[in-house]
Amino acid sequence: MRKSERAFQFAHQPIVKVNSGSVVAHELLLREYEGKDTEAFLNDSNLFLEHLVGLAESKALTLKALMMNGGVKTLFVNFTPDQISSQLFVRALNTFYENGIAPSTVAIEVTEHIDPSDKERFYNHLGYARRNGHPIVVDDFGCGISNFQHVTTIRPSIVKTDKELIQSAARDPWHKKALKALVRYIHDMEARVIIEGVETEEQFNVAQFCDADFAQGYYFAKPELSKIDCPNIIDMMQARQFKLAVVNSDNI
């Protein structure tokens, strides 16, 4: 495969509605991009920034294929704070629009609860995405600095709880009550809750007890490799010239 061809591989995992068990969305998970696996990206977060637009192109084409062939309707797409504060973030979002993908079907999931390099641009870009119709999701609530100030400032429409919370709640009655109170707090902020890391029936029962809206984890399904004919997608990427407007994101 030539270096100019962007080889990529993703997996997707379902997110289910707690009161019915029906699948309402999927999270897209990076497995490989241009010869680098997930671990390489996690060990060097600069790679996420370096490949921001290329990753977005790959995610857009993967989502398009999943919608056409796999019945996927809504996808949670991960972005780090530095990716969101990048001047190229708007260009990255444009790759979804250029593929005819509605913003309402692409949830922007904010990962890595660290301060972005440019806070003002970070919040401006989240506001831009929200105005365009993207659901905004905060990941791993209850972990690190992802606590109350982080959530109240971002004002997400969906909050994912850190997987350790459901594990603790299933073991200890006090933690179970604390998680229920946390879900109620998030609901009071007019956001919905995804309990992440559900691996057992007992943990799912706790999610129901806590009145969570959605759940995600191995109990429902492990991440499944997105079965896409990658050579065909690469051909699409090479044949199609993304005529993306250069946007001065500081003026958004």
- The string of pLDDT tens digits covering residues 25-39 is 999 999 988 888 888
Q: Which helix (H) or strand (E) holds 25?
A: strand 23-33
The structural domains of the chain, with segments of one domain joined by +, span 8-243
State how far the Cα of 73 lies from the Cα of 66, in Å rounded to an integer. Answer: 8
Q: β-strand 214-216 against 192-196: which pairing, if any?
A: parallel
83: nearest Cα among 118, 37, 107 = 118
Pick the CATH number of 8-243 from 3.40.640.10, 3.40.50.2300, 3.40.50.300, 3.20.20.450: 3.20.20.450
pTM of this structure: 0.86
State how far the Cα of 230 lies from the Cα of 127, in Å rounded to an integer. Answer: 33
CA angle 239, 65, 245 (to 5 degrees): 50
State how far the Cα of 110 lies from the Cα of 123, in Å rounded to an integer. Answer: 12
Q: Could you report the per-residue pLDDT of 188-229, keeping only the tens digit for each?
A: 999 999 999 999 999 999 999 999 999 999 999 999 998 765
State how far the Cα of 38 lies from the Cα of 200, in Å rounded to an integer. Answer: 26
Task: Check if the beta carbon of residue 60 is closer than 8 Å to that of residue 228.
Answer: no
pLDDT of residue 229: 55
